[in-house]
Amino acid sequence: MLKSLKVVAALAASVGVGLAPAAAQSSNNLYGETGMMGLISASDVSSIMSEFGVTTVFKPRPGGAPYIEASTPGGGRFMFHLVACQDEAQLIGCQSVFVTTALSNTGVAYDDLNNFNGNASVTTAVNVPNQQLIAFGRHILIVGGHSRDLFAATVALFLHDVGSFASARAGTSSVSFKASKAPRSKISGVQSIAVPEGPTTVFGMVDISAEVASAIANTNDVSFSVSYQPKQ
């Protein structure tokens, strides 16, 4: 939940300006021309992201649900995982969305993560020590009614949160998708229980291969900045 509409406006303004006019509403919208959605589909996400200049690609996943891979103009990679869909294979008529990304956890201290989670507007960060990454996520509930504008603002703030963390860190993109038994977390100075060999669950997802790939892609020279201004 956003802290307030004023916070949305203030932080979104810092992301940039120049959002294009809203695209045509999809058949999944609850109230048609009002911009309210009762469910969301892959086509809705792609349409809204195009208003930012963000490109999207539908990504099938063998043995699992497909997802949407998105890239900012500056190369920042993030994903949309659509949940509880009427058509899981095509991501049509879905009740909610997880927007996620990841960065290497190299050089990140426990206090950095705590400070981020205390100050971020809409984003939660989780350390995943056996994959050497920090996963960032936001759950956006659509069912019951959610506006396109609020969805756009939430994603803009998510990218602003991640961009702020990325610009302050001094990490690299070195990550590993192979689970290990390291007795110490990769976050500096944080003791942890031995990491199990089994799969890691992050934001309710067992398969985080997309997040691992994003951590590799999100090197220090990418930018999560987008051109966004909330509608009046």
List the pLDDT tens digit at each of the 232 positions of the chain: 333 334 344 444 444 333 333 333 344 444 444 589 999 999 999 999 999 899 999 999 988 899 999 999 999 999 999 999 999 999 999 999 999 999 999 989 989 999 999 999 999 999 999 999 999 999 999 999 999 999 999 999 999 999 999 988 744 444 444 433 333 334 443 333 344 444 468 998 989 999 999 999 999 999 999 988 777 6
The rounded distance, in Å, linking the Cα atoms of 125 and 165 is 10
Residues 132, 175: contact at Cβ < 8 Å?
A: yes
CATH assignment at residue 209:
3.30.1460.10
Identify the bridge partners of residue 75 per DSSP, sorted by sequence position. 223
pTM exceeds 0.85, yes or no: no
Give a yes or no: residue 223 inside a domain: no
Task: Please give the residue range of the domain that contains residue 72.
Answer: 5-217
Distances in Å between the Cα of 147 and the Cα atoms of 24, 182, 192 are 13, 44, 41
Q: Are strands 92-104 and 133-141 parallel, antiparallel or unpaired?
A: antiparallel
- 222 located within any domain: no
- Token digits for 149? 């504008």
Residue 53 lies in a domain: yes
Residue 165 in any domain: the answer is yes
Supply the pLDDT for residue 4.
Answer: 37
**Within-domain flag for 186:** yes
Alpha carbon of 63 to those of 39, 60, 99, 207: distances in Å? 24, 9, 21, 10
DSSP H or E segment with residue 124 = strand 124-128
CA atoms within 13 Å, Cβ hemisphere of 4: 3
Residue 224 located in a structural domain = no
Token pair 């009614």 is at which residue? 145
- Counted domains in the chain: 1
Q: Tokens 């959610």 — which residue?
A: 146
Residue 30 lies inside a defined structural domain of this protein: yes
The whole-angstrom separation of Cα 39 and Cα 92 is 8
Q: Looking at residue 217, what is its pLDDT?
A: 96
- How many C-beta atoms lie closer than 10 Å to residue 192's C-beta? 14
Question: Does residue 229 lie in a domain region?
Answer: no
End-to-end CA distance of the chain: 20
Please, are residues 74 and 223 in contact by the beta-carbon 8 Å criterion?
A: yes
3-state secondary structure of 114: helix
What six digits make up the tokens of 53? 């200049």
The answer to whether the CB of 69 falls within 8 A of the CB of 79 is yes
Q: Classify residue 149 by burial, with Cβ atoms within 10 Å: 0-12, 13-18, 19+.
A: middle
